[in-house]
């Protein structure tokens, strides 16, 4: 199945469409509108505002359910957790329809809990297509996400990278920057090596 990249603007995160699942909702609703009949669930990779800013409007437009890991659900209503004040904004102020846990499936995607950037950060994995939608856990340029925000943990992020390193990833679709359609495992290995080197 093809992953459709909906590029984020400015500091806002990329969104991705995979089957009936939209991952992240920082993009403008008009960017999602052409696919609104297709989208049944919006999965948020974590609770930071650049990934959740327009979730209320997009969910209403698509008549879609909103899902987020249970550990990050409070960020949908708590400004301190979402970091919305850094954007001069407020959290969306909604409750999720679905609280996710490690091992859940949404559409054809497996939820992998990858804490470190936030306590409830997740990646979404398609073994059939060798596709990983990675939020801010790991990026296609070989870097890993920040862990210096509230709730972040270098130790947990290192463990999360170790967990992802065993997957056979081709397409790596991260929250920021350009995604890659091939060689995703090499990007993860680079981030893992950078972490072990003491960088950051």
Cite the DSSP H helix spans in the chain: 29-32, 49-52, 55-62, 79-82, 154-164, 184-196
Percent of the chain with pLDDT over 90: 98
Domains in the chain with CATH codes: 3-196 (3.60.15.10)
Could you tell me the sign of the dihedral formed by the alpha carbons of 95, 101, 105, 110, in that order? positive
d(CA 108, CA 67): 15
pLDDT tens digits along 75-86:
999 999 999 999
The C-alpha atoms of residue 124 and residue 158 are separated, in whole angstroms, by 18
What is the C-alpha separation between 35 and 78, in angstroms, rounded? Answer: 29
From 127, 140, 138, select the one nearest 181 (Cα to Cα): 140
3-state SS assignment for residue 149: coil
User: What is the per-residue pLDDT across 31-69, written as a single tens digit (0 to 9) for each?
Assistant: 999 999 999 999 999 999 999 999 999 999 999 999 999
CA distance 6 to 179: 11
Q: Is the pLDDT of residue 1 over 90?
A: no
Q: Give the C-alpha separation, 86 to 80, whole Å.
A: 10
Confidence at residue 200, expressed as pLDDT on a 0 to 100 scale: 72
In whole angstroms, how far apart are CA 110 and each of 8, 28, 40? Answer: 23, 26, 16
Q: In this predicted model, what pLDDT tens digit does every residue of 144-176 receive, in sequence order?
A: 999 999 999 999 999 999 999 999 999 999 999
């Amino acid at each position: 199945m093809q992953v459709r990249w909906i590029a984020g603007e400015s500091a806002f995160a990329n969104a991705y469409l995979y089957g009936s699942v939209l991952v992240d909702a920082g993009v403008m609703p008009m960017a999602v509108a052409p696919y609104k009949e297709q989208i049944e669930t919006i999965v948020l990779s974590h609770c930071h505002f650049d990934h959740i800013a327009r979730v209320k409007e997009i969910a209403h437009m698509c008549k879609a359910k909103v899902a987020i890991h249970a550990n990050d659900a409070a960020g949908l209503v708590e400004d301190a957790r979402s970091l919305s004040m850094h954007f001069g904004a407020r959290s969306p102020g909604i409750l999720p329809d679905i609280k996710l846990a490690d091992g859940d499936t949404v559409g054809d995607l497996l939820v992998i809990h990858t804490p470190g950037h936030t306590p409830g950060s997740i990646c979404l994995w398609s073994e059939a297509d060798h596709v990983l939608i990675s939020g801010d856990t790991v990026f296609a340029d070989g870097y890993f996400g920040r862990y210096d925000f509230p709730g972040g943990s270098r130790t947990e992020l290192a463990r999360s990278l170790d967990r992802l390193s065993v997957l056979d990833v081709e397409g790596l679709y991260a929250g920021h920057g350009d995604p890659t359609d091939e060689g995703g495992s090499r990007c993860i290995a680079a981030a893992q090596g950078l972490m072990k080197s003491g960088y950051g």
